[in-house]
Structures are given as C-alpha cells and as structure tokens.
A and B are shown apart, each in its own frame.
Chain A
Amino acid sequence: MMDLPVSVIAGYLGAGKTTLVNHLLRHNEGQRLAVLVNEFGELPIDADLIESADDGLISIAGGCVCCAFGSDLIGALTDIRNMSPRPDHVLIEASGVALPASIAASVRLIDGLRSDAVLVLADAEQIRRNARNTYLADTIERQLSQADMLLLTKADLVSKQQLDEVRDWLKGNHPGKRILPVVSGQIPISAALGALPFPARQPSAADTAHSRFESIVLRPDGIVDADALGVALANDPGVDRAKGFVAGDEGMVLLHVVGNRHNTEAASGDHEVGVICIGLKDQLDPARIRGLPDAVRAGRAAE
C-alpha cells in the first residue's frame, strides 16, 4: 500500500482555512478526505455536509470524515491511517498561531503516512497588516516561510492593484514560492492536494468555477528518471501540483510535486503511466511540460 498523503493547512485567523476545507469537501472530485481539526470547539464543517456525528468522528458526504486531535495529533493520525476504507488524503487544519513545519515533522514520524504539503493561507486583505503587528509578525513570517505553496485567499475582495501589490510583497519576502490566488474560497482539489493517481475512482464532474486552473496529463514513453523529472516539474513555474506514475529503472514510481518540492516512492502493482500536472491557466505551458521528459533524458545523457 502506498503511503497516505497528509497536507497541513495553516495560516492566521481569518485567512480562510475553514472555507477552504469546506470547499474541498464539497468538491472532492471523488477523493475521500479525512480532516483533522485541533478542536471541535469551532466546528469547521458546514452543517449540510455532515451525515452523522458519533463519538468524536464526523461522517461527511462522499466518504469523508472529520475528527479533532486535541493534544494527541499522532494518536489521531494513527487512527486515521488504520481506518478502513482508508482515506485518499488527510488534511490537518492547524490553529491560527501554529507553526505548520512542526506539525509536518510529527506526520513524518508515523509509518504509512507521507507529509505531502504545507499549504499556508494568506488573506489578501489582512496579511500585510498582520505581518506588521508587533505580536504576530514573527509568527506570520514563520508560517509563510514554512509553506510549500501559498494560497492568497479573498483575492476577489481586493482590487487588481492591491492583489498585485500583495503578491509582489509575498514574492519579495519569499522568492520562488508558488502563490495561488483563491477566489471566493474556491480552488480545485487537484491544485490544492493533487489529483488521484491512475487508476482511481472516476472523478466527479469538474467544477466550472475552477476554470482558472488547467491540467494536462504527461505520459512519458519508456523509462524515465522519476527524480529528475520531479525536479524539472518542481522547477517549472507553471506547475503547482503534479501527481502520477512513471516507469523507472526498477519498476513503477509514484511521483508527487507540490510547489518547488517533489517526492518519489516505489509503487507496487500495475499502474497506468501518467502524471497529472496542474497550474493556473495562463501559466501552465503544455508544450513546455510535454518536452520535460525528453529534456530530462538529454540532461541525463549529457552527465
């Protein structure tokens, strides 16, 4: 069995973490999500999504679940790992002042789990003000610097000029980090968490609200160096998320890319070759991406 991916969703109060989680649950595209929240006090799940609540576990439409971890994150994660059927992806919604890297470090302690991504949400309206606040500045800075991807939320609530300014400010302070604008709390699950690898359950109908994003499937012929391809995809400025199987020297390999980081793991069994690459429509360059496997091979040959 492949390791179960775990993503951390962090960011200060009001950044839109709960809105994002609900959006991903509502538009899960066939992925079964397990959501872990710090505490049930601030119940993060929209009432209409809840099917039943029982003994600390909330069942959600589409085979998803939610539970609170309180002071025992590792215990809660272990329980989720042992669930049957196993979820496809675990989301940890961090508290507003939590540092996501330490949560990710705890995830890495558990066999069978893989720390997939740290997504840090920044409120386009508030982030610069919070970052200037005496009490919050260093916490916000630590959160932003620990992100694999920055999600710039409430992008629809500021003017185009303000959005550009805040994006430039983020880019200036965190050069090279992927910044995805999130409008009305909406981002496709495939961009936030990656697509389901092939073969998988059929995704539900794509959401038209997500038309700002585009995906293409890369199907490298023959054997390819998965790590080198991962580096190339992670370095491609148009690719925010990529996920899928390629044929490596020693069998099938599952490749994940999030932001500037990639990860590979040996895959057992038969899988269809194909890596789903997702990015913003105006930045994803299909021709360039399709050329990456050959470029990687050429680079390798040149070594």
Chain B
Amino acid sequence: MTRAGKNSRGVVERSLASFVDALEHAFYAEELAKKNGLLQKLDPRVKIVAILPLIVIAALARRLWVIAVLFALAVAIALLSSVPLGTLARRVWLGVLTFTGFISFPALFLTPGPAISSLPLLGWTVTAQGLRAAIYLIMRAETAATFSVLLVLCTPWSNVLKALRVLRLPVVLVVVLGMTYRYIFLLLRNAHDMFTSRKSRIVGRLDGPEQRRAATASVGVLMSKTIQLSGDVYLAMRSRGFQGEVYVLDEFRTNWFDWAMLALFITVAFLAFWFGR
C-alpha cells in the first residue's frame, strides 16, 4: 500500500470520527441545557445580554487580577450550572491553552525586556515582558472562551438563535440559522451513512487516486441530496402557508430572578471594566 493511500484512508476515518463527535457533542450540549442550574434558569435573552459584556471585558482588561477574578467567576458559574469542570478542561481550557500557547510562544523571547530565564540547550532568553504578554493572552482567551462555551452549553441552540433577536438580528436570518442547525445533523448523518456503507463494501484498500475519486463522488451525491432536500423543504413550508415572509413565536418570559441576575451581571461587568482599565 502506498503512503498516499494510507493518508487518504486516514482522512476518511478522521472525517467519520469527526461526524460522530459533532453529533455526540450536540446531544451532550442539549442534555446540559436541560439541567436545573443557574444559567439554565435564566431567560436566554438575559443570558446573552449578561454574558456578552463579560466576554468583551475579559478580552480587553489590562489588569491580570481582574481577568483572574472574571475567570474565577466563570468557574463558579459553571459549578452553579452543573457543568463538569472536567468537560470544560477537555473541551475548552486545553484547546485554548494549546492554541494561544502556540501563538504566544515566540513573544516569550522576542518581546524586549529584562531576561528572567533561558531555555536549556537553545539558550533563548525569556523576558519578563514576554512572559507577561503570554500570560495575558492565554488568560484573556481562556476566560472569554469559558464564558462563551457556558452560554452555549447551558442554552438549547434554538433558544440562543431566538435570543439573538434581542440584538436586532432580522427574523429571516434567525430562521435560516435555525434551519441550518436543524439540517446540518441530517446531512452529517447522511454523510456518515455513506462513508460507512462504502467502507463495508470495500475489500482491501484503495490507492490514493481511487480514494479521492470516491470521496469526490460522495461529495457530489451529498450535494445532489442537499439540493433535493432544500426543494422539498421549501414545498413543505409552502404547504403550511409560507409565502416568503416568516412569522415566529417569541415565547420567552422574564421574571424577577432574570432581572436580579441581569443587574448582578451588569454590576460585575461594570466593576471589571472600571478596575480593568
């Protein structure tokens, strides 16, 4: 078997794994959104209005202790919302640390300033300013990402989309996003079934060009099915009275708890903004 063949097979298998992972992740998120925690109790619109400023302030704050307090607040909210810290560590903190660590690594050595250490063997010197810049970048990214993920994990995606209307997004855009979310799973499942079905009928291994031809054909079939589906969905909408303008229900209702929590979050955001200037 050629090296190209091995690589192509790896791509197909990785694609399959990522399809399944995407589905499992979506199921897990919806299970978390049903739990009886702090964020889950809040009106989705309140959650968006309360958490978005915290994300922005975490990204802009100039004092490390303010970012650290915001990060601690995010962890506390996660615990009060029944979000396992292990899940956050695996899905957010580790990934963000790897990504931002990779980006900020050169800054450790290239930022001018007094040297505080040096790498063994290579002899590259780490500067105080470089270390400070890297820590800022990582902490800001970790905190902002934690708040963002909490918002998504503790709210059914459909409600997140509807709540975006509070930010004056047009109804048609919210509906299109909702339908995209709805059908992406169907298409993922179709793609998964197609790959599995082909894999079950292949004896031996295909070489690189054969793999690429098969993958291209699958993409073509999937595209064709998608076009057919979109036409059928339009007919189903038309059948129930759709004439080009969508009317939707806005079923959210706020109570005193929502307003109290909104006031608390806004106060925290204001204090973080004030002390983090």
A and B found bound together: no
Which residues of A are in contact with B by a Cβ distance under 8 Å?
A: none
